[in-house]
């Protein structure tokens, strides 16, 4: 008898976000779905874990083939809770993280709680997909994201691909009919230039708001995620966690050799 796939869904915008509801829509046609998502917004948490505070788990709802939990930790905490406690005696077939409110293209992958959770899922030998929409609005239109998310999940689920497998998928803003297609890309080289705006509260204490702009170091490169998104394509970037700069290893080995 064929076993029904088990899909873990999580995010970094919290269990009540519209993007999480869209991620559940992506996953439900493919099998049983268990959601473990943060109680509150955890954007920018990357691979952060909670070590110095208790964590609280509560079941939000349960219906046929869907169970939703809220967890007081980070996105990575949510994945660990699922694999190491809630589902420790089961085999998870796929992790879907998102759908994030805002792009996680280029260097954003390093800051993203959405991608932190997806990467963590891949550590367990499970294929993982991080889904993000290039729209930060709380009421963003996720129709195109659900459509393309389902297409990708349908092709990845059960595919014979090398492990670990983690995909950073970004969807441009627009109605489904406006999306030009999907391409596999590489991460754009670039960086953030931040600014801190200083203010004073009514008691004269200074405080700061962080803002900034992304600087694209290769705006004309057509094989990057940023270029594809700017031109109406869904971008798919396979992500790895080996941060070794192999181009530097030989030269440094010669320079530092005793």
Assign domain 6-189+219-256 to a CATH class.
alpha beta
Is residue 194 very low, low, confident or very high in pLDDT (cuts 50, 70, 90)? confident
pLDDT by residue (tens digit) across 108-133?
999 999 999 999 999 999 999 999 99
φ and ψ at 173, to 5 degrees? -65, 140
pLDDT of 170: 98
Length of the chain: 258
Q: How far apart are CA 8 and CA 33, in angstroms?
A: 6
Radius of gyration of the chain (CA): 19
CA atoms within 13 A on the CB side of 60: 17
Reply yes or no on whether the pLDDT at 238 is more than 50.
yes
Phi-psi region of 232 (alpha: psi -120 to 50; beta: other; left: phi over 0): left
pLDDT-derived band at 189, boundaries 50, 70, 90: very high
Considering the chain, what is the average pLDDT of its residues? Answer: 96
Residue 39 CB neighbours (<10 A): 19
Query: CB within 8 A of 62, min separation 6: which ones?
Result: 68
Tens of pLDDT, residue by residue over 3-57, are 899 999 999 999 999 999 999 999 999 999 999 999 999 999 999 999 999 999 9
Q: Give me the pLDDT at residue 12, please.
A: 97
Residue 74: the pLDDT is: 98
- Position 2 scores a pLDDT of 75
* Of 145, 153, 148, 151, nearest in space to 127 by CA: 153
The vertex-183 CA angle with 32 and 241, nearest 5°, equals 65
Phi-psi domain of 34 (left: phi exceeds 0; alpha: psi -120 through 50; beta: other): beta
How many other C-beta atoms are found inside a 10 Å radius of the C-beta of residue 177? 8
pLDDT at 1 over 50: no
Tell me the mean pLDDT in the region 140-150: 98
Residue 148 has pLDDT above 60, yes or no: yes
Task: Output the six-digit token pair for 31.
Answer: 């099998």
Residue 84 burial (10 A CB sphere; 0-12, 13-18, 19+): exposed
Provide the pLDDT confidence category of residue 258 given band limits of 50, 70 and 90.
Answer: low
């Amino acid at each position: 008898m064929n076993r029904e796939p088990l899909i873990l869904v999580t995010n970094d915008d919290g269990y009540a976000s519209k993007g999480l509801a869209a991620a559940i829509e992506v996953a439900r046609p493919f099998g049983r779905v268990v959601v473990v998502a943060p109680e509150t917004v955890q954007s920018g948490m990357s691979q952060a874990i909670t070590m110095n505070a208790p964590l609280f788990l509560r079941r939000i709802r349960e219906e046929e083939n869907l169970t939703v939990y809220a967890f007081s930790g980070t996105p990575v905490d949510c994945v660990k809770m699922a694999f190491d406690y809630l589902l420790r005696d089961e085999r998870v077939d796929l992790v879907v993280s998102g759908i994030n409110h805002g792009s996680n293209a280029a260097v954003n992958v390093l800051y993203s709680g959405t991608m932190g959770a997806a990467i963590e899922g891949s550590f367990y030998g499970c294929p993982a997909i991080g889904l993000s929409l290039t729209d930060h609005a709380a009421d963003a239109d996720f129709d195109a994201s659900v459509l393309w998310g389902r297409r990708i999940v349908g092709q990845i689920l059960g595919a014979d691909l090398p492990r670990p497998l983690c995909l950073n998928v970004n969807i441009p803003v627009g109605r489904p009919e406006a999306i030009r297609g999907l391409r596999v890309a590489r991460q754009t080289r670039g960086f953030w230039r931040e600014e801190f705006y200083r203010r004073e509260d009514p008691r004269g204490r200074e405080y700061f708001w962080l803002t900034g702009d992304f600087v694209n170091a290769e705006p004309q490169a057509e094989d990057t995620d940023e270029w594809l998104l700017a031109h109406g394509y869904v971008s798919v970037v396979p992500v790895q966690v080996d941060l070794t700069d192999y181009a530097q290893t030989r030269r440094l080995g010669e320079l530092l050799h005793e």
